[in-house]
Structure 1
Amino acid sequence: MDPTAATPPAAPAPEPGLFDTVLGLIGDVLYGIYWVFAQVISSVVWVFSSIKQGLREVWLFLGDILSPVLDPLGVAINDYLPVLGKYGPKLVEGLWTTIEIVSVSLAVGGLLAIPLALCRTSRIGLLKGFATTYIFFFRGTPLLAQLYLIYYGSGQFRPFFEQAGLWPVFREAYWCALIAFSMNTAAYTAEILRGGIQAIPVGEIEAARSLGMGRRLLMRRVILPGAYRIALPAYGNEIILMIKGSAIASIVTILDLMGQAKRAYSQSFSFAVYFYAALMYLVVTFILTRGWKRLEDWLNPQRRPPAYDGPPSAKP
Structure 2
Amino acid sequence: MSQFELLSRYGPRMLEGLLITIELVAISVTLGALIAVPVALARLSASRMLRALALGYSFFFRGTPLLAQLFLVYYGSGEFRSFFESIGLWWLFRDAFFCALLTFTLNTGAYQSEILRGAIRAVPRGQSEAAMSLGMKPRWIMLRVVLPQALVIGLRPLGNEVILMIKGSAVAAIITVFDLMGATRLAFARSFDITVYLYAAVLYLVLVETLRRLWDILERRLTRHVVRAAP
TM-score computed with the length of structure 1 as normaliser: 0.70
1:217 corresponds, among 140, 145, 156, to 140
Runs of 4 or more above 6 Å deviation? none
In structure 2, distance between residues paired with 1:304 and 1:125: 39
Deviation at 1:81, TM superposition (A): 2.5
Unaligned runs of 5+ in 2: none
Task: Report matched runs for 1:131-280 at 5 Å.
Answer: 131-280=54-203
Q: Which amino acid aligns with 1:125?
A: R
Mean alpha-carbon deviation: is it higher for 161-170 or for 185-194?
161-170
RMSD between superposed Cα atoms in Å: 1.4
In structure 2, distance between residues paired with 1:223 and 1:86: 52
1:118 pairs with 2:41: yes
Contact 1:84 / 1:276 at 8 angstroms: preserved in 2?
no
Unaligned runs of 5+ in 1: 1-78, 307-316
Classify the secondary structure of the residue corresponding to 1:81. Answer: helix
How many residue pairs match? The answer is: 228
Larger Rg: 1
Contact 1:297 / 1:303 at 8 angstroms: preserved in 2?
no
Contact 1:106 / 1:182 at 8 angstroms: preserved in 2?
yes
Relative contact order, higher structure (CA 8 A, sep 6+): 2
In structure 1, distance between residues paired with 2:73 and 2:6: 36
Deviation at 1:82, TM superposition (A): 2.4
String of CA shifts for 1:228-287, please: whole Å, max 9, x gaps: 000000000000000000000000011000000000011111111111111010001011
Deviation at 1:98, TM superposition (A): 0.4
Q: Alpha carbons of 1:154 and 1:210: their partners in 2 closer, same or farther (altered >3 Å)? A: same
Contact 1:83 / 1:272 at 8 angstroms: preserved in 2?
no
1:294 corresponds, among 208, 213, 217, to 217
In structure 1, distance between residues paired with 2:81 and 2:188: 35
Q: Which amino acid aligns with 2:219?
A: E
String of CA shifts for 1:82-122, please: whole Å, max 9, x gaps: 21122110000000000110011011101010000000111
Deviation at 1:158, TM superposition (A): 1.1
